[in-house]
Chain A
Amino acid sequence: MNYLNDERLDALAADYVMGTMEGRARRRFVRLMQTYQKVRERVWHWEQLLAPMNARIEDQMPPERVWQEISRRVGFIDTTQVAANDAAPLKGLMAWAGGFATAAVLLLGVFLLRPDPVMVPAAMTEQMAVFTQGEQPLWLMEVSGNELTVQATAAVQASDEHDYELWIVPEDGSAPVSLGLMPENGRITRALAVNTHDIAIKAVAVSLEAPGGSVTGAPGEVLYVTGLTIL
């Protein structure tokens, strides 16, 4: 089926924005959006056409606890409390990252690892990481200036059911920060979000997420953890 036929694409984008597209069709469409600029632009166009419908919706004052919870989740308040209280996957990731220091030593023959926290992205510095499963490389990640490039290998299992998301685990023990979705094939290059600059990094990790990635701001099931290497 040719998804990119203009008329069909327009109808699909409208279905997606309305929310009437469901299940596998929605997951497939999210994947098309991630791959093709043309698909994203159609969706953005429909979002803008329909947004004025929200004018008919009356404002409602959210309870104070909503802001408190948002502040807690993004790490504005009491991050130790966040680490202690949050869901198991987050604690799991911190534990994994803690264990990484030991694992890193074992990998010295393969990568030149820098034991100190690495600042990313430091100007003129290039860094890289390889996520592997056993001895099989899955993704090669490089940071150059403010740009992140991730190359998937053929060993990555593509799926309509899941997405893989990349995270940095800060050295100071605060909550992991998303760097966006990983490609399941080919290579992607994108600018690093400004709020990831100057974070001292303990490790980088890949989690398994529902299509579209984590919406909670915290990683789901952590699959792979590795360190960043200065080149």
Chain B
Amino acid sequence: MEPELQLQLIRAVARGERNAFEQLYQAAGPKLYGVAIQLMRSPERAEEALQEAFVKIWHNAAEYHQGRGSVMTWMSSIVRYRCIDLLRSKSTKEDRQDSLDEEGAPELIAPEQPEDPENQALERCMQTLDTDDLQYIHLAYYRGMTHAEIQVHTGTPLGSVKSWIRRGLQRLKRCLEE
């Protein structure tokens, strides 16, 4: 969906227009459900996160402004934070211990010449990172792992996990801001 149309829709949602909310859901739901499944590794839990995120989007639409980035960025962040909260909750954490090594989520799409300039820049900058930095960033961002979970998953000391993620992100940021 075009960013301009998303902007019109979110403004209409802020005015309480139900049709606009449904259109926004229809347009963004598949991408956001994908984000939720990737993190939650369980369709049921991803559904829960998506539902709660959209309830929040309905109530908080008036808080969106362009300083938050595109409407899609704002909504993706709401979905991600809800997933992360659910992942960190005690009951999910207990269930999740066994599933961290399982292939519970779809594979990521191989980066093939993205059309969007922002995506092109990210792919270019990702390629400048060390393999380790990239692996840890992936485990945190796409799989929602904490530093401690990455430590267990990779066998790398906690301090190294933290500093490599931090170093990788700062490199990424410098590259993207160039």
Contacts and interface: CB of A to CB of B under 8 A. Distances in A.
Q: Give the most central of A17, A55, A191: most B CB within 10 Å.
A: A55
Contacts of A48: 69, 73
B31 A19 contact: no
Size range of the chain A interface in the assembly: 35 or more
A50 B61 CA distance: 22
Q: Give the most central of B38, B62, B70, B137: most A CB within 10 Å.
A: B62
Contacts of A55: 109, 111, 114, 116, 119, 122
Secondary structure call for the A interface = helix
Given A19-B140, A52-B118, A62-B29, A70 B62 contact: no
A67 B25 contact: yes
A73 B34 contact: no
B52 interface: yes
B166 interface: yes
A47 interface: yes
Given A51-B76, A52-B121, A217-B52, A60 B69 contact: no
Nearest to A70: B54
A57 B35 contact: yes
Contact of A63 (B47, B61, B147): B47
Contacts of A215: 52-53, 55-56, 82, 85
A47 B56 contact: no
B51 A193 contact: no
A20 interface: yes
Nearest to B80: A19
A81 interface: no
A147 interface: no
B31 A52 contact: no
Contacts of A85: none
B114 A66 contact: no
Contact of B37 (A17, A19, A60, A194): A60
Contacts of A191: 62
B135 interface: no
Interface of B: 13-16, 18, 21-22, 25, 29-31, 33-35, 37-38, 47, 50-56, 58-63, 67-70, 72-74, 76-77, 80-82, 84-85, 87-88, 106-109, 111, 114, 116, 118-119, 121-122, 137, 140-142, 144-147, 162, 165-166, 169-170, 172-173, 176
12 contacts: A10-B173, A14-B170, A19-B80, A19-B140, A46-B173, A56-B111, A57-B35, A70-B25, A74-B58, A194-B16, A195-B15, A215-B82
